[in-house]
Amino acid sequence: MTIKRPAVKSKKEPGCYTEIPATIPCDIDAVGGVKGLCGRLPKLKNIIEMSAIHNALSDPVRLTILYLLAIQPLCVCVIKDCIGIADSKLSYHLTGLKKADLIEGEQHGNWIIYRLTHKGQKFAYETA
């Protein structure tokens, strides 16, 4: 059952002319107003970083790569055999994981060996 409360116009914050539920002004006052509420947000840099990580982890192929690398560092040919996708698609997914700083590659002769970064380990073990 939904309880309907009357909407009130916000008078506490300058420039706020939207109708809001009656309980919201009291709740906002409790955290220091809109300024206090906004001050509790993570820094924009952290929000952007988390967004990139969530974007990277939102694809089943990239998650599979993350879980494979949680088992052990691997070269592209082994990752490709496990997942069964074309080189170009694998490259695309590896790039997404590298941009999110979840994996890193190290050149060993003709091969690149991919491994989880510290951040990648954290997310692989938290989501497994």
Q: Are strands 74-75 and 19-21 parallel, antiparallel or unpaired?
A: unpaired
Asked if residue 65 lies in contact with residue 82, where contact means CB atoms within 8 angstroms, the answer is no
55-103 pLDDT, tens per residue?
A: 999 999 999 999 999 999 999 999 999 999 999 999 999 999 999 999 9
- CA 29 – CA 36 distance, rounded (Å): 9
13-25 pLDDT, tens per residue?
A: 555 546 777 778 7
Catalogue all structural domains in the chain, each as residue range(s) with its CATH number. 7-39 (no CATH), 45-127 (1.10.10.10)
Structure tokens at 20: 């809001």
- CA 95 – CA 126 distance, rounded (Å): 22
pTM exceeds 0.95, yes or no: no
